[in-house]
């Protein structure tokens, strides 16, 4: 198999908010920049389906707000596991970056020249900014158009599957075109990894196709460390029947109720004070437990909106209201089923203030980077991080490659990487049902390594992962799409294994990580981070104090 050769100063992997921001910044500093994306640039990744909320402590709604209070709120939500340096940067730089994005033409909502800032859970003051349509696609499309208007080289539909380093310094990467199977070898002075999260490891998730944790898996394989991988956020406000849509948490402030199959307001067992206004993790756990105990309905619980005025529902959840109306559903009388859903990975690649991993000239930003959010992410801090750290990663990547030559990648490494594809394509055909393996993985992770975990359920999952890994490695096909899916599945299995091992290492409950066998928080032993690395091809975890 031949391959195409691409050379650059900076290679950005990932074509969404974090990657596009990094590419623009790197280009601005004069670096010869290439951006490559598994999906279409600006039209792939979770940012495009996001509600486009960004936080910035402008204090336009309440002048008591400040970066310091934003810092404290972020730590509070992260249960004090966050990397203080990264949170400091996030909260200090958010205003400047949001303003720049607005100046580029995003058009955040404003009144009399000031940003309209909304209250969102966990924030002491209103500081979330949105565009009127609340569509992330508006932002990613604009950034993609800007990138295309520069000399940055763009490549769509290429799945990167290997990152090369030599003696702790980056050399390049290898990717495959998802449609043609054409292979690409990228020789580059620096890499910015911005490949997003891994929501697809769970059966019930709201992530876009392709969110398969490729970045975590590649980075680990290349020798980088991962941090906080036991913390996955579940969003408790997804209606799964008769439509499939998120509902606003504000509805619970206005009288929406959660009922089990007996019609009981079960939240009184889990949080008798706050009831349905409890935090995301407690509510997710409560619904999950009701379903597990056989008190759920069709995999969820009832959402009772009978007390919500039509005017309010329309105002808060226009799309949801319309979808129900379109199906002839009366939200006051007909059954609505709600379930928690896998949403966001707090864990990620361990980076320093400059977004650099422990491999020199290897940077990470956006959801694939870890350490910022600790044990639980504050609402709208994901896109703010993608923006702030995307910009920093691009800047430091461009700076890092000044006065350097483009590294030459050892032919042996290229051959070894190609062999991974070659084996899948050219050896005799083996009938393996990839979709079935993926389904088994997602169900196992959802039931045993998600909202509620225990030593027993995690060990059971590990055994299952070993079996699925063996099966998945036997996969062979001439179909290029299936080869991409098989690479993605391998990544999903690796990320699942990392999540399970990290969860076993944290024998306590904290934030989004709940162990039914260790239901309490144990600061004495666990006020610190679990770091994951590869040693002699084995994945190991180590505990570090904060
Ligand atoms: C329904 C929903 C609503 C949300 N709303 C909000 C919100 O309002 N506010 C907020 O702060 N957060 C929100 N989030 C979270 C937020 O959208 C994500 O954390 C954010 O999109 C991460 O940005 P990113 O650029 O790091 O990754 P993504 O936006 O996920 O993009 C990843 C990019 O990497 C590419 N890629 C992946 N693997 C490879 C590979 N192997 N090779 C090459 N390219 C690859 C993809 O094609 C894509 O271009 C929401 C998430 C969801 C699912």
In the annotation, is 280 catalytic? yes
Reference 467, options 447, 449, 486, 441; nearest CA is 441
- Supply the pLDDT for residue 280: 83
CATH 3.50.50.60 maps onto the chain at 3-230+344-400
- Supply the pLDDT for residue 315: 83
CATH 1.20.58.100 maps onto the chain at 411-536
- Supply the pLDDT for residue 182: 96
44 within ligand 1 shell (Cβ under 6 A): yes
Ligand 1 atom with the shortest distance to the CA of 18: 25
Q: Sorting pLDDT into bands at 50, 70 and 90, what band is 426? A: low
Residue 277 and residue 253 in contact, taking contact as beta carbons nearer than 8 Å: yes
Ligand 1 atom with the shortest distance to the CA of 212: 38
Hey, whose CA ends up nearest to atom 21 of ligand 1? 47
8/32 Cα distance (integer angstroms): 6
Q: Is the pLDDT of residue 431 over 80?
A: no
Strand partners, 532: 226, 541
- Give the DSSP per-residue string, 364-387: E-GGGEESSSTTSPPTTHHHHHHH
The overall average pLDDT reported for the chain is 95
Q: 3-230+344-400, superfamily in CATH?
A: FAD/NAD(P)-binding domain (3.50.50.60)
pLDDT tens for each residue of 205-217: 999 999 999 999 9
- Which of 9-13, 198-202, 338-342, 429-433 is predicted least confidently? 429-433
- Supply the pLDDT for residue 250: 79
351 CA to centre of ligand 1 in angstroms: 18
- Supply the pLDDT for residue 222: 97
User: What is the mean pLDDT of the segment spanning 276-297?
Assistant: 92
Q: Sorting pLDDT into bands at 50, 70 and 90, what band is 319? A: confident
Q: Is the pLDDT of residue 378 over 80?
A: yes
CATH 3.90.700.10 maps onto the chain at 246-341
Q: Sorting pLDDT into bands at 50, 70 and 90, what band is 429? A: low
383 within ligand 1 shell (Cβ under 6 A): yes
User: What is the mean pLDDT of the segment spanning 45-57?
Assistant: 95
214 within ligand 1 shell (Cβ under 6 A): yes
pLDDT tens for each residue of 455-507: 999 999 999 999 999 999 888 888 899 999 999 999 999 999 999 999 999 99
- Supply the pLDDT for residue 423: 86
User: Is the ipTM above a cut-off of 0.95?
Assistant: yes
Q: Sorting pLDDT into bands at 50, 70 and 90, what band is 122? A: confident
Q: Is the pLDDT of residue 228 over 70?
A: yes
Q: Which long-range CB contacts under 8 A does 286-291 form with residues at least 24 apart?
A: 286/258, 287/236, 287/258, 287/338, 287/339, 287/340, 288/340, 288/450, 288/451, 288/452, 289/452, 290/260, 290/266, 291/339
Running DSSP on this structure, what letter comes out for residue 475? -
140 within ligand 1 shell (Cβ under 6 A): no
Its CATH architecture, for the domain 411-536, is Up-down Bundle (1.20)
490 within ligand 1 shell (Cβ under 6 A): no
Is domain 246-341 annotated with CATH 3.90.700.10?
yes
- Supply the pLDDT for residue 428: 63
**Which sign does the torsion angle of CA 17, 20, 25, 26 carry?**
positive
160 within ligand 1 shell (Cβ under 6 A): yes
Running DSSP on this structure, what letter comes out for residue 268? H
Q: Sorting pLDDT into bands at 50, 70 and 90, what band is 119? A: confident
- Supply the pLDDT for residue 342: 97
Q: Sorting pLDDT into bands at 50, 70 and 90, what band is 134? A: confident
- Supply the pLDDT for residue 430: 65
58/353 Cα distance (integer angstroms): 23
Hey, whose CA ends up nearest to atom 6 of ligand 1? 50
Q: Is the pLDDT of residue 427 over 80?
A: no
Ligand 1 atom with the shortest distance to the CA of 160: 42
pLDDT tens for each residue of 237-253: 899 999 999 898 879 98
User: What is the mean pLDDT of the segment spanning 19-40?
Assistant: 98
413/214 Cα distance (integer angstroms): 19
Ligand 1 atom with the shortest distance to the CA of 365: 26
496/232 Cα distance (integer angstroms): 11
């Amino acid at each position: 198999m031949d391959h195409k050769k691409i050379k650059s100063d900076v290679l950005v992997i990932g074509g969404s908010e974090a990657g596009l921001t990094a590419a623009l910044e790197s280009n601005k500093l004069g670096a010869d920049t290439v951006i490559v994306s598994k999906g279409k640039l600006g039209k792939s990744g979770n940012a495009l389906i996001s509600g486009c909320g960004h936080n910035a402590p402008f204090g336009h709604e309440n002048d008591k707000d400040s970066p310091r209070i934003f810092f404290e709120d972020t730590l509070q939500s992260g249960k004090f596991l966050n990397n203080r340096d990264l949170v400091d940067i996030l909260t200090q730089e958010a205003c400047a970056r949001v303003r720049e994005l607005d100046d580029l033409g995003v058009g955040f909502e404003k009144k009399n020249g000031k940003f309209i800032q909304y209250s969102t859970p966990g924030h002491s003051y209103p500081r979330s900014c949105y565009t009127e349509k609340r569509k992330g696609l508006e932002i990613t499309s604009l950034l993609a158009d800007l990138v295309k208007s520069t000399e940055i080289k763009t490549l769509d539909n290429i799945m990167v599957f290997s990152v090369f380093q030599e003696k702790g310094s980056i050399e390049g990467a290898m990717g495959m075109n998802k449609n043609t199977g054409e292979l690409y070898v990228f020789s580059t002075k620096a890499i910015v990894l911005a490949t997003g999260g891994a929501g697809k490891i769970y059966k019930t998730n709201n992530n876009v196709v392709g969110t398969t944790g490729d970045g975590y898996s590649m980075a680990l394989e290349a020798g980088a460390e991962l941090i906080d991988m036991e913390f996955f956020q579940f969003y408790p406000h997804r209606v799964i029947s008769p439509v499939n849509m998120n509902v606003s948490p504000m509805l619970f402030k206005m009288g929406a109720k959660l009922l089990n199959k007996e019609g009981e307001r079960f939240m009184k067992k889990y949080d008798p004070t706050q009831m349905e206004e409890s935090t995301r993790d407690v509510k997710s756990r409560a619904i999950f437990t009701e379903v597990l105990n056989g008190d759920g309905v069709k995999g969820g619980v009832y959402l009772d909106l009978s007390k919500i005025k039509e005017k309010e529902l329309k105002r808060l959840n226009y799309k949801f209201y319309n979808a129900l109306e379109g199906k002839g559903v009366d939200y006051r009388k007909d059954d609505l089923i709600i379930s928690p859903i896998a949403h966001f990975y707090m864990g990620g690649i361990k980076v320093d203030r400059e977004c650099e991993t422990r491999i020199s000239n290897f940077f990470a930003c956006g959801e694939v980077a870890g350490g910022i959010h600790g044990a639980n992410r504050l609402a709208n801090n994901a896109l703010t991080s993608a923006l702030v750290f995307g910009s920093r990663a691009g800047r430091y990547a461009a700076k890092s490659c000044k006065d350097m030559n483009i590294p030459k990648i050892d032919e042996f490494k290229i051959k070894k990487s190609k062999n991974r594809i070659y084996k899948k394509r050219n050896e005799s055909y083996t009938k393996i049902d990839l979709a079935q393996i993926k389904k088994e993985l997602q169900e196992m992770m959802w039931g045993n390594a998600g909202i509620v975990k225990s030593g027993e359920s995690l060990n059971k999952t590990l055994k299952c992962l070993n079996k699925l890994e063996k099966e998945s490695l036997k996969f062979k096909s001439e179909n290029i799409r299936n080869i991409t899916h098989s690479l993605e599945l391998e990544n999903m299995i690796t990320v699942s294994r990392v999540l399970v091992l990290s969860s076993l290492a944290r024998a306590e409950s904290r934030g989004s990580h709940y162990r039914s066998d260790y239901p309490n928080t144990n600061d004495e032993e666990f006020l610190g981070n679990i770091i994951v690395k590869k040693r002699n091809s084995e994945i190991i975890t180590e505990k570090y104090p904060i």
